Amino acid sequence: MSVTPVTEVSRLELFFDLVFVVTITQFTTVLEHRPSATGVVQSALMLAIVWWMYGGYAWLTNLVPPDRTSRRLAMVAGMISYLVLALAIPRAFEGEGLAFGLAYLLVVFVHGGLFTVSTQVALSTIYRGFFPVNVAFALVIVAGGALGGGWQYALWALTAAAAWASPYLIADQSRLLGAKHFVERHALVVLVAIGESVVAIAIGASAHTINAGTISTVALGMAISAGLWWAYFGDHDDELRVAAFVRAIADGRYLVGVRPFGLVFAALLGAVVAVAAGLHHAIAHPDSSTDTVRALYLGAGAALFLVADQVSRAYMGIAISRRRLAIAVAALATVPAGMFVSNVAQETLLAAVLAGGFSLEGRSGRRGDARQVE
């Protein structure tokens, strides 16, 4: 079965990702408006569902390049569907669940159409079994959105669980993927998601006059966002991931196309969402303390980002960095500062933890932690 993967991310895919990141912005809105366990559960459920189909599009463009007018138009249709879905996210559990479900169904149909009309017969054959399953998942989401209430929670949770369990029930197709394109595509999503945290900083600061206090809180927020960037992209980490991905496929590592970039990656993006929501609130109210949930957005969000990144790397055969895990624990330890002192105190501590931790890594230490597992 011969399939030729794509090697470079196209400009249209980057455009697609810029549209997709609107969904990330909307998840931040959910967390900001519902700083509670309910808001976190709602965001997590929707992110798990949405990320399943983003992964489908990443596989699609890795194997079926959008290099023809018909494919490009179909990709634009997929973007429109994602944009409508994103608009429904903030009120998906407050009466707009049906709109969310119908937009998701359209996302599935566009994705399936692009795969099934592929000129590579092997791909059409492979996806023919996936398409009806994805349609079934989408129909359950539509039903849950229409019913609302407890049914919506139950059906959407069931769909998310079934979707992410399904790769374990079929033959692994990871060997078909082009490593450079696949790794770069996911890295671009991380980059634009971190960009959302920068937007949150600007929005939070917009309520204040520009003075020394505002500038200092903005600088601290940017230091935290830069810390997330450094954790994922510092010291040529993309090259490390590509090499690890190639080796993992050559070694036959199970589901390397799903496990590092599936729910673990969704957790990583969810962590960026939480940090963005925490930064928005902290910069808008720097001198006051905050509630437990918002303090956790910052501290636990940063910690989750670091841990999820390490788990993702481990699935590809990259050694766990004990130093990064220690930084994650220190980030979590900043939560009491936000709860009992002030938001700016937590910002200061978290920025110091990230900056200090990464500055201590050094090139030799970083390479030592990032060696391949034999």
| pLDDT, tens only, 226-258 | 999 999 988 677 788 989 988 988 888 888 889
pLDDT value of position 371: 46
CA 339, chain centre distance (Å): 27
321 and 216 assigned to the same domain: yes
Q: Are residues 108 and 204 in the same domain?
A: no
Instruction: Of 190, 176, 181, give the one whose Cα is nearest residue 230.
Output: 190
Minimum mean pLDDT range among 29-33, 38-42, 142-146, 361-365: 361-365
State which of 113, 142, 170 marks the end of a domain: 170
Confidence at residue 200, expressed as pLDDT on a 0 to 100 scale: 84
Q: Is residue 40 scored above 60 in pLDDT?
A: yes
One-letter amino acid for residue 253 of the chain: R
Percent of the chain predicted with pLDDT > 70? 90
Based on the domain organization, do 20 and 37 belong to the same domain? yes
Residue 179, pLDDT score: 86
Q: What is the mean pLDDT of the chain?
A: 87
pLDDT at residue number 88: 94
DSSP conformation class of 67: -
Percentage of the chain beyond pLDDT 90 is 51
Residues 28 and 153 in one domain: yes
Q: Please state the rounded mean pLDDT for residues 349-368.
A: 75
Q: Is the pLDDT of residue 99 over 60?
A: yes
Query: Could you read off the pLDDT of 161-173 as tens digits, one per residue?
Result: 999 998 888 877 7
What integer pLDDT is reported at residue 4 of this predicted model?
Answer: 58
- What is the phi/psi pair of residue 372, to 5°? -70, 145
User: Would you call 2 helix, strand, or coil by DSSP?
Assistant: coil
- What range does the domain containing 281 cover? 179-369
Give dist(CA 131, CA 177) in Å, integer.
19
Is residue 195 in a domain?
yes
Residue showing tokens 């496990």: 259
Same domain, 187 and 281: yes
Taking the C-alpha atoms of residue 98 and residue 145, their distance in angstroms, rounded to an integer, is 4
Cα distance between residue 277 and residue 275, in whole Å = 5
Looking at residue 127, its pLDDT comes to 58
Please give the pLDDT value at position 67. Answer: 78
In this structure, the answer to whether residues 154 and 229 fall within a common structural domain is: no
Task: Say what the pLDDT of residue 158 is.
Answer: 96
C-alpha R_g of the chain: 21
| Tens-place pLDDT, residues 278-306 | 999 999 888 898 999 999 999 999 999 99
In a domain? residue 4: no
In this model, does residue 123 exceed pLDDT 70?
Answer: no
| Inter-residue contact 372 to 318 (CB < 8 Å) | yes
Q: Is there a single domain that holds both residue 244 and residue 301?
A: yes
The pLDDT assigned to 293 comes to 94
Look at residue 14 in the predicted model and tell me its pLDDT: 87
Q: Is residue 6 part of a domain?
A: no
159 and 209 both lie in a single domain = no
Domain presence at residue 2: no
Say whether pLDDT at 128 is over 80. Answer: no
Phi first, then psi: give them for residue 186, nearest 5 degrees: -70, -35
Give a yes or no: residue 5 inside a domain: no
- The total of other beta-carbon atoms located within 10 Å of residue 15's CB is 15
Of 119, 143, 170, the domain-final residue:
170
56-65, 191-200, 266-275: segment of lowest average pLDDT: 56-65
Residues 87 and 64 in one domain: yes
Question: DSSP character for 256?
Answer: T
Our count of domains for the chain comes to 2
The answer to whether residue 374 sits within a structural domain is no
Q: Which of 105, 135, 170 is the last residue of a domain?
A: 170
| 137 shares a domain with 212 | no
Q: Tokens in use for 128?
A: 């023919």
Q: What pLDDT is recorded for position 132? A: 84
Spatial distance between the Cα atoms of 110 and 7, rounded to a whole number of angstroms: 23
Cα–Cα distance, 267 to 203 (Å, whole number) = 24
Handedness of CA 162, 168, 171, 173 (dihedral sign): positive
- The Cα 189–Cα 139 span in angstroms is 27
Q: What is the pLDDT, as a whole number, of residue 301?
A: 96
Q: Is residue 202 part of a domain?
A: yes
Q: Is residue 254 part of a domain?
A: yes
Residue 330 vs residues 138, 217, 323, 355, 361: alpha-carbon distances, Å? 40, 20, 11, 12, 15
Same domain, yes or no, for 188 and 138? no
- On whether both 149 and 225 belong to a single domain, the answer is no
